[in-house]
Structure 1
Amino acid sequence: MPLRDAFMDLVLGGSCAGCDRPGSSICRSCRAILTAATPYVTWPDPSPAGLLPPTATTAYDGIVREVILAHKEHARYALAKPLGEALALAVQASLGCGRAVWLCPVPSSRSTVRKRGHDPLRRITAAAARHLSRQGYDVRVADALTVVRRPADQAGLSAGERAANLAGAFGVRSRWAERLTAQPVLLVDDVLTTGSTLAEACRALSARGIPALGCAVVAATRRRVASGS
């Protein structure tokens, strides 16, 4: 954690986003839950058409859920670093022996970013790229996707309804279309639930001739089928 964040937590009486223990934004134990996990390939059940292999670092529940929500909804920026390190684990697992990749975050609408006051996934993705670069990987962030049709609120929708709601929601920015052709690309997100959002992102890239390697996420909900089952 940056010294500035640690100092502010101390002065302002901060607490851990995961367990609410007084002190830093995330305590050592909660940070270890994020960054010492073993990534795994996990498919939603049912799995939406077009979804490429999704790799998650850990399960979306308990402390992990609290940390992700604190960063996303309450703008606790210091959490981007540990969440980025967690995402980096999923990226490494997705790459296998590969050492170079473009990380393409799933986009949020401008109104959503304005409402939150920041773009949490973009922040996490940048942190993951920095972390991997320090380990000798050639990793760059590609802001290639954009929201071209804002879908309705996803809350309460079934997996099939979510897929229909998101169909055609994303597009590829023209300046990125040629740049990413024949390049190794991974789609990234913070949480995998039904897989509909990532499947739409996969479709948007494929439609412009950009076949991604797969998907990497910090966490996945437990409503899914493990790889090989």
Structure 2
Amino acid sequence: MRGWWREIADLVLPVECAGCGRTRSALCAKCLARLRDMEEIRRVRPSPEPPGLPAVYAAGAYEDEVRAVLLAHKERGALRLAEPLGAALAAGVRAGMRAAGHGGGRQDGPVLLVPVPSARSATAARGHDPARRMALCAARQLRREGIPARVLAVLRQRRAVADQAGLSATQRVENLSGALSAAAGSGRLLGKGTTVVVDDVMTTGASLVEAARAVTTAGGTVAAAAVVAASPRDC
């Protein structure tokens, strides 16, 4: 219910642009163009690169307007931003597919987007799961382009983890190790397409490593990972 009220408020209440702060627009034309022009899709590598990290493709750097828009969607519930963010995520997914040898046609089979889940407490506090919402928008964008894509939100938090803030890259990997599992029976679904793990932002890569491990343990194969943005030092 909270999500629906936020969407209605986005439509009728005066707001500031999530990117630059301009009033009366959830996302002004300039910042929308900034998101749509995130064409420098590239493979990104954190330093140090954790073992088990799949090839990660990002639509841009986590800074300036892009950072502001992602935070507005994630932390302030600006749900209308999911659509442009999902389009940027779709660009990263396409790059990962191409690198993995998936041509994008139906003959290559479906593309399965597996979002990294938020902790239950975070989802409850925010009223939505940001990565899942963006993944759904990305899948719709890919289908509009003729690429058979669907979201498999099969990962679950199996144990509580410590707050990642202040932890080193190595500590983050240790903190998240074994924290995720795939829903029972999901291995059969994961085996029927090309799996791309998706998230909003990559910093150390620890969350993507753990998500890829959980997918592989369930019987799937991760072809790549995609994010909207990566830490500027990794781009």
TM-score normalised per structure 2: 0.89
Residue equivalent to 2:3: none
Correspondence 1:115 to 2:115: no
> Are the counterparts in 1 of residues 10 and 78 from structure 2 also a CA contact under 8 Å?
no
Correspondence 1:82 to 2:92: no
What is the alpha-carbon distance in structure 2 between the residues aligned to residue 33 and residue 196 of structure 1?
A: 28
2:43 aligned residue (41, 46, 63): 41
1:98 aligned residue (104, 108, 121): 104
How many percent of aligned residue pairs carry the same amino acid? 45
Query: Structure 1, residues 2-39: CA drift from partner, whole Å, max 9, x if none?
Result: xxx99966752222100011222111111121121121
Which deviates the most, 5-14 or 191-200?
Answer: 5-14
CA RMSD of aligned residues (A): 1.8
Correspondence 1:153 to 2:154: no
Amino acid at match of 1:203: R
Residue equivalent to 2:67: 65
> Are the counterparts in 1 of residues 186 and 218 from structure 2 also a CA contact under 8 Å?
no
Query: Structure 1, residues 123-142: CA drift from partner, whole Å, max 9, x if none?
Result: 11111111111111100000
What is the alpha-carbon distance in structure 1 between the residues aligned to residue 66 and residue 231 of structure 2?
A: 11
What is the alpha-carbon distance in structure 1 between the residues aligned to residue 197 and residue 18 of structure 2?
A: 26
Ranges in structure 2 where 5+ consecutive residues have no aligned partner = 1-5
> Are the counterparts in 2 of residues 9 and 23 from structure 1 also a CA contact under 8 Å?
no
Correspondence 1:163 to 2:173: yes
Residue equivalent to 2:21: 20
What is the alpha-carbon distance in structure 1 between the residues aligned to residue 11 and residue 157 of structure 2?
A: 39
Amino acid at match of 1:119: D
Correspondence 1:210 to 2:220: yes
Instruction: Tell me the number of residue pairs that the alignment of Structure 1 and Structure 2 aligns.
Output: 221
TM-score normalised per structure 1: 0.91
Cα separation, partners in 2 of 1:6 and 1:176, compared to 1, 3 Å: closer
Amino acid at match of 1:23: R
What is the alpha-carbon distance in structure 1 between the residues aligned to residue 18 and residue 201 of structure 2?
A: 17
> Are the counterparts in 2 of residues 51 and 199 from structure 1 also a CA contact under 8 Å?
yes
1:14 match: secondary structure: coil
Cα separation, partners in 2 of 1:156 and 1:135, compared to 1, 3 Å: same
> Are the counterparts in 2 of residues 30 and 63 from structure 1 also a CA contact under 8 Å?
yes
> Are the counterparts in 1 of residues 69 and 81 from structure 2 also a CA contact under 8 Å?
yes
Query: Structure 1, residues 50-100: CA drift from partner, whole Å, max 9, x if none?
Result: 000000000000110000000000001111111111101111111112343
Cα separation, partners in 2 of 1:7 and 1:73, compared to 1, 3 Å: closer
What is the alpha-carbon distance in structure 1 between the residues aligned to residue 212 and residue 12 of structure 2?
A: 44
What is the alpha-carbon distance in structure 1 between the residues aligned to residue 25 and residue 124 of structure 2?
A: 27
Residue equivalent to 2:33: 32
Quote how far apart the aligned CAs of 1:212 are.
0.6
> Are the counterparts in 1 of residues 10 and 79 from structure 2 also a CA contact under 8 Å?
no
Cα separation, partners in 2 of 1:182 and 1:33, compared to 1, 3 Å: same
Residue equivalent to 1:54: 56
> Are the counterparts in 2 of residues 9 and 24 from structure 1 also a CA contact under 8 Å?
no
